[in-house]
Amino acid sequence: MVSLADAHPPIALGALDGRYRGVVAPLVDYLSEAALNRARVSVEVEWLIHQTTAGTVAGVRALTADEQAQLRRVVDDFGPDEVAELAVIERETAHDVKAVEYFLKRRLCRIAPAAEDRGLAELIHFGCTSEDVNNLAYALLVKGAVEQVWLPRATDVTEQVAAMARDLKAVPLLARTHGQAATPTTLGKELAVLAARLRRQLARIGRQEYLGKFNGATGTFGAHVLALPDVDWPAVSRAFVEGLGLTWNPLTTQIESHDWQAELYADLARFNRVLHNLCTDVWTYISLGYFAQVRGQGTVGSSTMPHKVNPIRFENAEANLEVSNALLDVLGSTLVQSRLQRDLTDSSMQRNIGSALGHSLLALDNVGRGLAGLDAVPEAMAADLEGNWEVLGEPIQSAMRALGAQGVEGMEEPYERLKELTRGRRIDGDDLRTFVQGLRLPADVEARFLELTPQTYTGLATRLVDDYLS
């Protein structure tokens, strides 16, 4: 048997880099190994520029504007050739961050080749432990992936749900609590609940802080102070970290504690779970015939049954949300743990962030496509409502309770009387109207209930969508 492992170009092991590459490709610029190395180069460049601009080391000249621009261009131009070059260096160093340091020193010598400037190269990675670079790189990458890729797509899908809610706000729907026929609502109001839940999680994610530390081998600035005792190192560290757009963490061990990551991944997972709830509800509405999958359906639904259009978008989304949450949960629980001042479990664990967000992004793509292919079928919903007149027992007994409390005679045991009429049997409109006419209700109340149907018993559902889902 021919080994597929020897294929050129290489065949992807996982679905995200194979079958679904096109959907998750935007994350490659943030959460791939190459993106991590580019971010490390960026942090090292910015640290060198920061030191020389702030005059941290006395007697070292500031880099010119052109030199700074050329250094930043190293980051902007970081592509496949640079990835390959860095890989060669890393094979020599057997250390990823040290390889970045040597890579950048080569570039600096080309940008500032004069003999008197060679000392500048020693300020690359000055005072740093690898985690000083790594934690900032990861914070920048995760921030970029969430804010530039995941959050816009999640917002689009959420607003897609909200738009459907507004469009369908007045379409009556037989509710099902515990799977049983229950007080009617509207399809739009039920979608509005999901849209509001998704929006709440997006708001939490949008407020996320991304922390960074820059304080040396065990978080004490020990080497910094001995090398340059007159420098206010916490102030330098804070200015540098905040200058990168991150929140400064002054109290750490060798690693930034990753608590912010655990907080973020918990919120992402919660969003995923609400989205999963939407998928299962919509899947059920499709199975009940309340939604028809008709728009843009040029695909094969079943390989053997021509009439079928399977709700595969929502099923695919469910599976990917479950994979995403498994990864997000283990990231959140593992990253907050570190033995004493440092262990390397976080290094391996953080390499799975891309997969966690990738499966969520793939689910969002499927949900968006799935929702776009749905049409509501009000006739099917109306037929179910017409077959369940017993749901009107609730408002009638509630009105009888209120009237009894007000002293109206003949309103005794309202719940029990409606239970006897409706439980375990189907009734129709005539049955209910006959019952209402025998209750001796006040004329205005009787008229209200004689006009009531399951289709019109939706309370304030439409208004709730109008008032609370902007």
pLDDT tens, residue by residue, 190-245 = 999 999 999 999 999 999 999 999 999 999 999 999 999 999 999 999 999 999 99
In order of start, what are the domains of the chain with their CATH numbers? 23-127 (1.10.275.10), 131-377 (1.20.200.10), 389-453 (1.10.40.30)
Percent of the chain with pLDDT over 70: 96
What average pLDDT score do residues 168-176 get?
97
Q: Which two tokens stand for residue 53?
A: 């601009």
Is position 302 annotated as part of the catalytic site? yes
**Main-chain phi, psi angles of 176, to 5 degrees:** -135, 110
Is position 287 annotated as part of the catalytic site? no
Runs of H (alpha helix) within 55-128: 65-76, 80-93, 96-111
Going 337 to 338 to 344 to 346, the CA torsion angle's sign is positive
Report pLDDT for 427: 87
- Active-site residue, selected from the candidate residues 95, 287, 302, 398: 302
Q: Name which residue leads in pLDDT, 401 or 119.
A: 401
> Which of 153, 174, 151, 164 lies closest to 194 in space, CA to CA?
164
Report pLDDT for 298: 46
Q: Which residues contact 20 (CB under 8 A, 6 or more apart)?
A: 358, 362
Runs of H (alpha helix) within 207-258: 222-227, 233-243
Whether the predicted pLDDT of 420 surpasses 50: yes
Range with the largest mean pLDDT of 33-47, 397-411, 427-441: 33-47
- Active-site residue, selected from the candidate residues 178, 303, 307, 348: 178
Task: Name the pLDDT band for 64 (thresholds 50, 70, 90).
Answer: very high
Task: Name the pLDDT band for 296 (thresholds 50, 70, 90).
Answer: low
Predicted TM-score of the model (pTM): 0.93
Q: Name which residue leads in pLDDT, 427 or 253.
A: 253
What average pLDDT score do residues 421-437 get?
88
Cβ 256 vs Cβ 221: under 8 Å? no
